[in-house]
Amino acid sequence: MKRRRFLQICAGAALAGRPAAASDWRGQAFGADVSLRLAGEAPMAAVLAEIAAIEDTFSLYRESELTRLNATGHGPGSERMRAVLACAARVHAATAGAFDPTVQPLWQALARGTDGAAERASIGLERIDISSEIRLSAGQGLTLNGIVQGYAADCIAALLAETGLTDCLIDMGEYAALGGPYRLGIEDPAAGMLGARTIGAGAPRAMATSSPAALALPGGSHILGPRGEAPRWSTVSVGGDSAMLCDAASTAFVLMDASAIEKARAELGLGAVTLIDFDGNLSVI
């Protein structure tokens, strides 16, 4: 499952009247071949260091805090890990369990071509103890791929704001904005470009999009229903003030009906949710 991703940070209006130089980097991040372009005066070294720190915590593709936690079932839990798990728990509760990162053993079983029946018994984020240290229940493992790209966008946005940049669009697979406004297209894998969303400058500052067709597993999508739910939507796009929160919510909303999405959207304080069904029809909640 070879993937490529283009990560982009565009710094524009803060540099009005000055040429916007660009720096490029290619490497590995978030389990993909990555191209990173920083336009303007965004600090490449600091951004790469932040991406490396996020990878050191959450990567499933090399040794990380997460792979060690999955291997041993327990760990002290860094500040980064606890922040992401706290957001995951919030979305898990608001979506009645539709967002559940303990599907990792099931994901692995399906990727191997087995039915995953035994692995389903271990699912349940509420069974993880995060009081003094993080402890997984027997048979559990975590994947945070449905939330970490949003977390990365938020972290890079905060880093760039600290350096004084005031007008940036950050694309880490999910989007966060400083300044703006920025107009982003909403594209469905089957139906193509169907809509657009504005973020930044008075609008929600973040957007995340999930499409179950983006990666297929034997027998289904990479977005797994913890109770066997099948995807209800071809694409879901969510706006809000936290890319991490939008990322987790968009993952869960793929599995939920419109009324349940509206309830969760209000509980989580999110902006508009764009839904595209499997016939290519677009609606907004």
Name which of 102, 100, 101, 99 is nearest 119 in CA terms: 102
**CA separation for the pair 206, 244 (Å, rounded):** 9
Element (H, E) at 24: strand 22-29
CB 147 within 8 A of CB 101: yes
Does the pLDDT at position 142 exceed 90? yes
Name which of 52, 81, 50, 79 is nearest 68 in CA terms: 81
Sheet with 273-276, edge to edge strand ranges: 22-29, 32-39, 4-11, 168-171, 175-178, 206-210, 235-240, 273-276, 282-284
pLDDT in tens, 12-60: 544 434 445 667 777 777 776 666 677 666 788 899 999 999 999 999 9
CA distances from 225 to 85, 104, 201 (A): 19, 11, 35
Query: 1 pLDDT band (50/70/90 cuts)?
Result: very low
Does the pLDDT at position 150 exceed 90? yes
Query: 257 pLDDT band (50/70/90 cuts)?
Result: very high
pLDDT in tens, 192-250: 999 999 999 989 999 999 999 866 555 567 799 999 999 999 999 999 999 999 999 99
Does the pLDDT at position 187 exceed 60? yes
Name which of 95, 144, 145, 87 is nearest 252 in CA terms: 95
| Residue with more model confidence, 18 or 90 | 90
pTM score of the predicted model: 0.91
End-to-end CA distance of the chain: 33
Specify the pLDDT at position 53: 97
